[in-house]
Amino acid sequence: MDEGLLYLYTRAGVTLFDDLLHRVFGDRLADHLPVRVLPVGTEPPQDFQTLVDREYANIADLPKPGRRARAEADARVRALLAEAQVGPDAEVSDADDVRRVVRGIKAGKARAAVFPRLSDVATSVEGAGLSVEVRFVKKECVPVRLVKDDEQVDAAAIRLVPLQKKYHWGAFDLADKLGLSRPKAAALRCHLGIDADPDCAYTFTFGSQSHVRFSDNDYTRMRHAIAGGIDMDAIGKSHGAGRHRGPRPECKQAGCQASESAVS
């Protein structure tokens, strides 16, 4: 590990121990340490982002011809992944995470692309001398985005979200939550083109049966439309039950396919 990063990790560990000691027992770690304190380093503490960039450059040099230090590169990558993957379920896998990162480094990708979560980590250094406190803090929210199964992305961690959790709304549940009658809720979905939007609706097929479920995007769009003062009576008349099948000429939204069965 880079000496600068090792210092930050060690000093942050000391700060954490002092915090816990004071929180539980009301003592300070400085009250139990000897007067003489060692060691002394030749390099002053540096900013975390500067040290990560330097470590990333060092890792990129290790697998190059003439060095072939693949084992050392993997070990340094694991250290950075451990910092990026914070949480009770964080786990670094040699087969997946480390190899993926090493491939990205070999391909010449930027550090922010290979370790996006590390861009949001900073160090907060307070005090001087024996009262120095080092803490790892978040600069801003960790970037999270949804990706498709076949989409190639660079990420510190990938979490698989079951489709049943994303599309957890039933049509009747949506109507009840929004305070709409079921025909009006179906008419509003049609008007907004929700049923044809893959980010809003998904059809689950179990044998010969098919069930359409909706995501939070659906609920949000419908709620905003109602809050914006959309004329639900006009929507109901334009897309309500008993009208002709097929697209409604009055509706200019893409994917609007109101039918008698859709609003029943």
The token duo for 54 is 């330097």
Residues 44 and 133 in one domain: yes
* Interval 231-239 mean pLDDT: 81
Q: What percent of the chain has pLDDT over 90?
A: 3
Residues 96 and 184 in one domain: no
Under 8 Å CB-to-CB from 178, ≥6 apart: which residues?
A: 185, 219, 222, 223, 226
For position 229, which CATH number holds?
Answer: 1.10.1660
The answer to the question of residue 192 being in a domain is yes
Residue 135's DSSP bridge partners are 124
* Interval 202-222 mean pLDDT: 86
Residues 117 and 27 in one domain: yes
The answer to the question of residue 198 being in a domain is yes
**For residue 145, what pLDDT is reported?**
64
Residues 67 and 186 in one domain: no
Asked if pLDDT for residue 249 goes beyond 50, the answer is no
Per-position DSSP letters for 166-188, written without gaps between them: HS-B-HHHHHHHHT--HHHHHHH
C-alpha 119: how far from its chain's center?
Answer: 13
**For residue 260, what pLDDT is reported?**
33
- Give the total number of structural domains in the chain: 2
The answer to the question of residue 262 being in a domain is no
C-alpha count within 13 angstroms, C-beta hemisphere, residue 180: 27
Q: What is the pLDDT of residues 26-66, one digit of tens each?
A: 998 888 887 776 666 667 677 778 888 888 888 888 877 77
The answer to the question of residue 132 being in a domain is yes
Q: Which residues of 100-111 are buried (b: 16+ CB within 10 A; e: fewer)?
A: bbbebbeeeeeb
Residues 131 and 232 in one domain: no
Residues 123 and 14 in one domain: yes
Residues 226 and 123 in one domain: no
* Interval 117-140 mean pLDDT: 65
The token duo for 181 is 């009658």
Q: Which of 132, 87, 139 is nearest to 116 (CA)?
A: 139
* Interval 151-179 mean pLDDT: 76
Residues 133 and 69 in one domain: yes
The answer to the question of residue 87 being in a domain is yes
How far apart are alpha carbons 247 and 254 in whole angstroms? 10
Higher pLDDT, 134 or 183: 183
The answer to the question of residue 106 being in a domain is yes
The answer to the question of residue 260 being in a domain is no
Residues 25 and 128 in one domain: yes
Residues 23 and 75 in one domain: yes
pTM of the model: 0.41
**For residue 144, what pLDDT is reported?**
63
Residues 169 and 92 in one domain: no
Residues 16 and 134 in one domain: yes
Show the domain range for 219. Answer: 165-239
The answer to the question of residue 258 being in a domain is no
Give the range with max mean pLDDT: 135-139, 150-154, 233-237.
Answer: 233-237
Work out the number of other CB atoms within 10 angstroms of the CB of residue 212. Answer: 15
